[in-house]
A and B are shown apart, each in its own frame.
Chain A
Amino acid sequence: MRFHPARFITPLATALGALSVAIALSPVLGRAEVAAAWLITLVIIGNLVYTAVDWLSSYLVITSHRIFQLTGSGITVEVQLADAKDVRLTRTIGGRLFGYGTLVFDSQRLVVDSVAYPEQLYLEILGMLYEEPHADDANREAG
């Protein structure tokens, strides 16, 4: 699954703000000052573009065996579900407002923020963490 688009709020706000300031200041500044203002604005817009590309190429993958984060360069973070001792869900006010949360595995060994549909995902992971041993036991007993 993709991360929540809340990741765009900061770069988008910064880019729009910078663009508005640059447009407003352009008629009253000298050539060198205008160039400096637009250069900074372009860098900030570049950051927005980078965030967009990063968002498009990043995925959080949760299988019954492991959790890993995929980016454009490959798998960056990976946790075996069997190794995970605990998982917590934290939600800020903004997270509650916009519908995202942060999953913390094993006392911050892995922190995944901007997770969309966090409560459903949290319950799914909890189910996989704590129900699978019972399923194995049942299988063993049956065998």
Chain B
Amino acid sequence: MIVSDYNTNTALAILRSAGYVNTLLGSIIPLVPILMPWVALLLLWLNQLIASLLAFAAALLISPAALTWNAFLSLAQHDLQAAHGGAWDVVAFVLAAIAAFLFLFELIGFGIRVTALSVGLVATVAIVPIMFLLYPLPASDVFYTSLLTQPWLPAETITLTTHQSMTGYILETDQDWTEVLLAEDRTVVQYHTSQVSSRAMCQIDVVASERPLFPLLNTQSELPECVLPTPAQGSGGALRPRQVTETAPCQMAGRRCE
């Protein structure tokens, strides 16, 4: 529904074209990196230390962060400079020293696993505010909007025989029809496959901040940026596509609109 811009007809058209399994997987897989940091935190609270550490490691590598590593470091440096010594710092230091002493006792008495869980619990006091900065809550932040509305299919620049270009996602194609989810207004249209002269994969909104904190590959995508149709391209002289999303009855019946 998010991908189809909350249009039920478009959602049904996508479901019919892409198939149930593909749609389900395509809907779930983009959520994994978004929710991974919070799952890691939940696992830590549930005393699942190893699973939590693995989830945190995965989050650092795959979850899109609101800040880059350099920006995060400079922010931390700025915060450290802003913090100045005072009575509260002394209190914090004394409490930390007592806690460290008790953790040592805990390590001797209860073993490394119990101690690691306790230290992890204390660390969440610092981790959660940092996570608010790096991974804003999906429900309350616009940071994820572009990620969630992005379909799981690759964006393509589709050029027709009339030289009209558009950006969309190919839902299904066969020798007769090519079904496209238009990126601009999220409507599903069909073209005769013979009218499609070329297709090229492209990148919509190349945003550096959507990269994880520690990207495994530092290279930016080599894909060209997608072109959006100009008003001249979108009107006169163009081939008129069949707009699936506005003809609900035939779409609901599971056949192509004529």
Residues of A with Cβ closer than 8 Å to B? 6, 9-10, 12-14, 16-29, 32-34, 36-37, 40-41, 44, 92-95, 97-98
Contact = CB atoms under 8 A, between A and B. Distances in A.
A34 B125 CA distance: 9
B38 to A, nearest CB: 12
B152 to A, nearest CB: 32
21 contacts: A12-B102, A13-B99, A13-B103, A13-B106, A14-B121, A18-B125, A20-B94, A21-B123, A21-B125, A21-B126, A24-B83, A24-B96, A26-B88, A28-B79, A28-B82, A29-B129, A33-B128, A34-B129, A44-B125, A94-B106, A95-B109
Contacts of A40: 124-125, 128
Given A13-B102, A23-B92, A93 B125 contact: no
Contacts of A25: 125-126, 129
A18 B79 CA distance: 19
B91 interface: yes
Helix, strand, loop or mixed for chain B's interface? helix
Given A6-B109, A17-B99, A92-B109, A24 B89 contact: yes
B125 A22 contact: yes
Given A36-B132, A95-B109, A28 B80 contact: yes
Contacts of B122: 14, 17-18, 21, 44
Contacts of B93: 20
A19 B95 contact: yes
B99 A33 contact: no
A16 B119 CA distance: 11
B108 interface: yes
A10 B126 contact: no
Interface of B: 79-80, 82-84, 88-89, 91-96, 98-100, 102-103, 105-106, 108-111, 114, 118-119, 121-126, 128-129, 132-133
A10 B89 CA distance: 24
Contacts of B128: 33, 36-37, 40
Given A37-B126, A92-B110, A17 B103 contact: yes
B89 to A, nearest CB: 7
Contacts of A9: 102, 105-106, 109-110
A130 B126 CA distance: 55
Contacts of B96: 16-17, 20-21, 24
Given A25-B126, A37-B126, A98-B109, 14 more contacts: A12-B102, A16-B98, A16-B99, A21-B123, A28-B80, A28-B83, A29-B79, A32-B132, A37-B129, A40-B124, A44-B121, A93-B109, A94-B110, A98-B105
Contact of B99 (A6, A20, A92, A95): A20
A38 B196 CA distance: 59
Nearest to B75: A28
A23 B125 contact: no
A19 B96 CA distance: 8
A36 B95 contact: no
A27 B82 contact: yes
A114 to B, nearest CB: 11
A16 B95 contact: yes
B88 A23 contact: yes
B78 to A, nearest CB: 9
Nearest to B140: A32
B75 to A, nearest CB: 10
